[in-house]
Amino acid sequence: MTTKRERAAEEDFGWRNFEDLLQTLSPAQMQEPGYTPEGWSIKDLMAHVGCWMAEAGRELQRMRVGTYEDRPLDVDAMNREFYEANKDLPLPMIRAELFSSRIRMLQEWNALAEVTSDAEDWFVESGTNHYREHVPRLQEWAEELRAGG
């Protein structure tokens, strides 16, 4: 079984890859539509990832204090809600919320006395696996943007 520390190290490695790509782009490039066929920008991606880390932080906290309830999630509906809630927010706010959400997720992960399979799923799916899912397209789109579109 993978330890809590190993899971945190995996998350950190994925985060560094994600953040390193973000650092190669200007604020204008981050707001350019085209990351997805639906017209998401990298700013929208940052909000999306941050929202899922915020969800993970809340769920991990619930696990820590004993109020967690495993419930079905409508991921597509949640993604739409996240997009609508964040699409008009300025980039500096999105960036701050992304970093804040990650810090909270990590704090709650580290505060867990016991890592259950639900805790591990929330942490890995909202962090490590989420970066893996989005980094390939992020890298492609970042290269296109740096090349001039």
Q: Where are the domains of the chain?
A: 42-146
pLDDT, position 148: 83
Residues 6+ apart with CB under 8 A from 38: none
Contacts of 119 (CB under 8 A, 6+ apart): 60, 63, 109, 112
Residue 149 has pLDDT above 90, yes or no: no
Model confidence pLDDT, tens digit, residues 109-135: 999 999 999 999 999 999 999 999 999
| pLDDT score of 31 more than 70 | yes
- Residue 105's pLDDT is what? 99
pLDDT digits (tens, 9 = 90+) for 71-112: 999 999 999 999 999 999 999 999 999 999 999 999 999 999
Q: What mean pLDDT comes out for the span 67-73?
A: 95
Q: What is the mean pLDDT of residues 37-44?
A: 96
pTM: 0.95
Q: If pLDDT is split at 50, 70 and 90, which confidence band does 1 have?
A: low
- Note the pLDDT of residue 2: 80
Q: Provide the greatest CA pair distance for the chain.
A: 51
Burial 64-83 (b: 16+ CB within 10 A, else e): beeebeeeeeeeeeeeeebe
